[in-house]
């Protein structure tokens, strides 16, 4: 019985790994180029990069911010205590699988009103977030959208995402995409 259970787990893990790899393969190169150009432009012109996301997407954003900081970017995460005011031509990187997370949408709306560039990472190209963005990077993974769009309301109400491994597919793919982006930026900026 234990051997059968172990074989099932290994098979399931392999299936999941293959599904994640297929998801990562779907990241478009033209989206990557647009985001790279936007970030290199920010670095070359002393522009700030602000990152916003909530929940697991926020954690992915924080990891990305640390890596950008190591490359010399002036980068901040919305919600931290030392975030400066956004200026025209700064960049907001907004991460939301659904593209409907209220806090992320609000931040994108304010950024647009100030003349900042908005880069959206989302699974839905037709989402409100994508509609606000100058650059949309479509990250596969999010299959459905919660009926409650406000992340904090969902937490208070006890409306949680499914606990299946595929519920994390957006975050896994976004992390792989952003890590790959860091490698590309490192190469293009000739940093070690």
CATH number assigned to the domain comprising residue 167 = 3.40.50.10490
The whole-angstrom separation of Cα 103 and Cα 160 is: 17
In a 10 Å sphere around its CB, with 0-12 CB exposed, 13-18 middle and 19+ buried, how is residue 9 labelled?
A: exposed
pLDDT below 50 — which residues of the chain? 1, 4-5, 7-9, 163-164
Bridge-based pairing state of the strands 48-52 and 91-95: parallel
Q: Look-up: residue for tokens 């595929």?
A: 166
Give the active site residue among 3, 148, 171, 184. 171
CB 91 within 8 A of CB 50: yes
pLDDT at 145: 55
pLDDT at 151: 59
The whole-angstrom separation of Cα 14 and Cα 16 is: 5
Q: Cβ of 147: how many Cβ atoms within 10 Å?
A: 7
The whole-angstrom separation of Cα 52 and Cα 133 is: 13
Nearest in space to 166 (alpha carbons), one of 132, 135, 143, 189: 143
Q: Is 46 a catalytic residue?
A: no
pLDDT at 1: 43
Residue-range definition of the domain harbouring residue 18: 2-188
Q: Into how many domains does the chain fold? A: 1
What pTM value is reported for the model?
A: 0.80
């Amino acid at each position: 019985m234990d051997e059968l259970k172990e074989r099932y787990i290994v098979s399931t893990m392999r299936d999941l790994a293959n599904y994640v790899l297929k998801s990562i393969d779907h990241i478009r190169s033209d989206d990557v180029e647009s985001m790279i150009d936007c970030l290199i432009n920010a670095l070359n012109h002393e522009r700030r990069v602000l990152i916003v996301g909530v929940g697991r997407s926020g954690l992915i954003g924080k990891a990305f911010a640390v890596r950008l900081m190591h490359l010399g970017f002036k980068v901040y995460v919305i919600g931290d205590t030392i975030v400066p005011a956004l200026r025209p031509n700064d960049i907001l990187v907004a991460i939301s699988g659904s593209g409907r997370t209220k806090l992320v949408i609000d931040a994108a709306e304010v950024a647009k009103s100030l003349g900042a560039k908005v880069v959206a990472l989302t699974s839905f190209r037709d989402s409100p977030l994508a509609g606000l963005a100058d650059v949309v990077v479509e990250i596969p993974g999010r299959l459905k959208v919660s009926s409650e769009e406000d992340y904090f309301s969902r937490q208070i109400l006890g409306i949680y995402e499914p606990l299946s491994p595929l519920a994390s597919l957006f975050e896994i793919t976004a992390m792989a995409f952003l890590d790959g982006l860091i490698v590309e930026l490192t190469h293009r900026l000739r940093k070690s």
